[in-house]
Amino acid sequence: MQPLSATVVQTLRAEIIDGRIAIGDRLKEDALASRFGVSRVPVREALQQLEAEGFVIIEKFKGASVSARSHEDVVELMQVRRGLEVLAATLAGEKSGGVMADELRQVIERSRRARDERAVDQLPPLIMEFHEVVARASGNAQLAIMLEGLLQKIAWGFELDIVGRIESSWADHSAIAEAILAGSGPTAGHLMGEHIIKDERLYREATERTAVPS
List strand residue ranges (DSSP E) for the chain, in order: 26-27, 56-59, 63-66
* Cβ neighbours of residue 87 closer than 8 Å, sequence gap 6 or more: 138, 143, 189
In angstroms, rounded to a whole number, what is the distance separating the alpha carbons of residues 86 and 152? 17
pLDDT at 15: 85
Is pLDDT at 161 greater than 80 in this prediction? no
pLDDT at 191: 97
pLDDT at 54: 81
Q: Are 94 and 134 in contact (CB under 8 A)?
A: no
Give me the domain span that covers residue 46: 4-66
> What is the pLDDT confidence band of residue 210, given thresholds at 50, 70 and 90?
low
Task: Tell me what the mean pLDDT of segment 38-48 comes to.
Answer: 95
CATH at 54: 1.10.10.10
Q: What is the pTM of this model?
A: 0.72
pLDDT at 214: 43
CATH at 86: 1.20.120.530
Q: Are 63 and 27 in contact (CB under 8 A)?
A: yes
> What is the pLDDT confidence band of residue 55, given thresholds at 50, 70 and 90?
confident
Same-domain status, 161 and 199: yes
> What is the pLDDT confidence band of residue 3, given thresholds at 50, 70 and 90?
confident
Q: Are 104 and 97 in contact (CB under 8 A)?
A: yes
Task: Tell me what the mean pLDDT of segment 168-190 comes to.
Answer: 95
pLDDT at 27: 96
Per DSSP, the three-state class of 182 is coil
pLDDT in tens, 73-122: 777 888 999 999 999 999 999 999 999 999 999 999 999 998 888 887 78
The amino acid sitting at 206 is: A
Mean model confidence pLDDT for the chain: 87
Among residues 66, 96, 112, which one ends one of the domains? Answer: 66
Beta bridge partners of 163: none
State how many domains the chain has: 2
Same-domain status, 61 and 80: no
In angstroms, rounded to a whole number, what is the distance separating the alpha carbons of residues 3 and 62? 26
Same-domain status, 45 and 76: no
